[in-house]
Structure formats: structure tokens, C-alpha cells
Amino acid sequence: MARLANKTALITGGTSGIGLETARQFINEGARVAVTGSSAASVAQAREALGDQALVIQADAGDVAGQQAIAAQVRQAFGTLDAVFINAGVADFRPVEAWDEAGFDRSFAVNVKGPYFLIQALLPLLANPASIILNTSINAHIGMPNSSVYAATKAALISMARTLSGELIGRGVRVNAVSPGPISTPLYGKLGLAEADLKAMAAGILAQIPAGRFGDPVEVAKYVVFLASDESRFTVGSELVIDGGMSTL
């Protein structure tokens, strides 16, 4: 079944983890796909993984001016966009006393400001109908220690899904959010923790998941395909939680 046949899509942070798996699923469903990545190495890896089936763009998700450049490249390649998955983000976990202004600003730039201005830059490209999906987090709903800044950025995206839905639905653009819980992705390896600390953190998180395991990126990607497809045309301003029951405790 090609649920995204003849559709075009942009996936930010599409060179690893949830983003890369979503790109694969979109391609399997018939879409033409562009993905962004933050480093030359990740871009090269994505080009190897996706081949000529995707346009791969190197971009800094937190650079406002760079969002216009992404829009220009997508316009040149596709002309219009049917779906956007705002997935790029940074997860920086620190106790409140360890935060500094630079780190705080970086988290909000990558997770909130950049995505907001990317949406603005893409507005002229969006088809009618079109779908925007924001990748948020259950951290916006639970009181996990050391996640205060990260959780705040994700709560901002959930709010954005609702407010932009009200603003953009008149032009045929649906905005929704997915909120994953712990997913087995390279994200955890980027936290800068020693291996022993990383294992301890994973064990502590696992104990809080009623399903008894971490999620798989494909389990999020399948929801994103649904939200990008016409099957979800009556789903507007919603948040789909994919967390193995963690936020129900």
C-alpha cells in the first residue's frame, strides 16, 4: 500500500534514529523525501543509507537564517510540500544548578526557535491539503529530574501544534504532534555520559515503562506516516503518545 504516493515530504533530523526510519517508511509508502542533518558525517551516512531516493541537506536546526536556505532547496527540488516532520532536536539533561545561558539558549534554538521559523519559511511551499507533524516528548508531561529545559522545549512544541492548527487549518494545513517515550536511538549516546552511567540511566528508565522495553524507531515512524497520509485528514491539533505506558504511571 502506497499511502504517500505522489506526495513530497521534508524530515528534519532525518539522518539517524526516528528521522531516518521515518524517511525509509515515507519512501516505502511512495513519497519523495528530503531530509536534513547537522553534520557532514551524518549527511554522508544518510546518503549511503537512502541512496538517490532522498535529497539530503546539511543544516543547523537552530540557525534561523538557515531555515530559509532549507526552504529554497526544497522548493527547487520539489516545488511544493505535502508533509513536514519536524524531528530535529537536542536532548540536554542537567540538574537545574548546572545550566548556563548558552546551553539554555541552544536547547531552545534547536528545539523551538528553529522549527518555528522553518515552518514560517515553508508556508509558501505547503500544498492544500498538507500535514505538519512535530516530534515532541512525554518529558513535557512527566516530572523527570534533570529534564527541566528539555521538557520545557517539548511542551512549547505541543502548544505550537494546537495554536498553529487553529491558525493554519483554514489554508488546509493540519498540525499534529507525536510524543515518544524512551526509544532505542543514537540519542542516548550523545548525552556525554560514561558507559556505566548510561547503563544505569537506561535501567532506571526501563523500570518506569509498563511495556517492559524501550520503543523502536519504526513504532514512531508508522504513526508519522499515518499523520502525513490522508487517512488522518480529520486529525487536527492532536498529540499521539507513544511511550509504552510510561506517562500513565
- The C-alpha atoms of residue 204 and residue 206 are separated, in whole angstroms, by 6
Q: Which residues pair with 177 in a beta bridge?
A: 134, 239
Per-residue burial over 92-115, b = 16 or more CB atoms within 10 Å of its CB, e = otherwise = bbbeeeeeeeeebeebbbbbbbbb
CATH 2.60.120.10 fits 8-240, yes or no: no
**Residue-range domain boundaries for the chain:** 8-240
Assess whether the previous peptide bond of 210 is cis (omega < 30° from 0).
no
The one-letter code for the residue type at 96 is V
150 is a catalytic site residue: yes
State the greatest distance between any 2 C-alpha atoms of the chain, in Å, as a whole number: 51
- The C-alpha atoms of residue 174 and residue 184 are separated, in whole angstroms, by 28
Q: Which residues pair with 86 in a beta bridge?
A: 134
- The C-alpha atoms of residue 163 and residue 159 are separated, in whole angstroms, by 6
Specify the residue for cell string 534561523: 64
Show pLDDT as tens, one digit a residue, over the chain (249 residues).
699 999 999 999 999 999 999 999 999 999 999 999 999 999 999 999 999 999 999 999 999 999 999 999 999 999 999 999 999 999 999 999 999 999 999 999 999 999 999 999 999 999 999 999 999 999 999 999 999 999 999 999 999 999 999 999 999 999 999 999 999 866 545 555 567 767 777 788 888 899 999 999 999 999 999 999 999 999 999 999 999 999 987
Select which of 116, 150, 188, 223 is catalytic. 150
Picking from 158, 36, 151, the residue whose alpha carbon sits closest to that of residue 87 is 36
